[in-house]
A = this chain, B = another copy of it.
């Protein structure tokens, strides 16, 4: 019991620091976020970060994993109980648009970190894991849409994810610069995409 609480406290603080780090990263992006900047987002001093994390890479990696947790939790609810294909398409479109609108800066960070993972091998595995879970999330929707339509998907899971991700990324880009139609276009794009992926 004693050891339990000790480990838990330690892990709790790690989580707390990582969450603050995520806020800083979402604000400034990976390239412009230093350990001292991260510390300013907490109530602690910068030295503490090295008490809970060996170095910057371990901190950022932990952040990426933490982001993944939230991501998976957010989406694992999965497809709702839509009764018809158009209803499912609408639900899926609304879900993605809501996710974008709810936390655009976090999604911006996600694309930033995914780009960084192409240069820094340290992040690659965690980023790949997140990509997989997002792909699964997309595929569940495609799968469900095909089932409701009584047909089969005509694409692979990676293909479907790539197409949805393209729509999402562009919508995010436009949403961030203030395009009011970005969300609606994303919804429309998703509604039109789903039928194209089944036959």
Copies of this protein in the complex: 2
Tell me if A162 and B158 are in contact (CB < 8 A): no
A154 at the binding interface (Cβ < 8 Å): yes
Tell me if B159 and A189 are in contact (CB < 8 A): yes
Secondary structure dominating the interface of A? helix
Complex CA gap A193/B163 in Å reads 9
A53 → chain B closest CB, angstroms: 19
A196 at the binding interface (Cβ < 8 Å): yes
Tell me if A112 and B108 are in contact (CB < 8 A): no
A85 at the binding interface (Cβ < 8 Å): no
A11 at the binding interface (Cβ < 8 Å): no
Tell me if A155 and B118 are in contact (CB < 8 A): no
Since A108-B118, A158-B185 are in contact, a sample of 6 more A-B pairs with Cβ atoms closer than 8 Å, ordered by chain A residue number, is: A108-B115, A115-B115, A154-B192, A155-B192, A158-B170, A161-B170
**Nearest-neighbor residue (CB-CB) of A197 within chain B:** B196
A31 at the binding interface (Cβ < 8 Å): yes
Complex CA gap A9/B96 in Å reads 51
Report chain B residues within 8 Å CB of A120: 29
Report chain B residues within 8 Å CB of A158: 170, 185
A124 at the binding interface (Cβ < 8 Å): yes
Contact pick for A111, options B29, B118, B193, CB 8 Å: B118
A42 at the binding interface (Cβ < 8 Å): no
A40 at the binding interface (Cβ < 8 Å): no
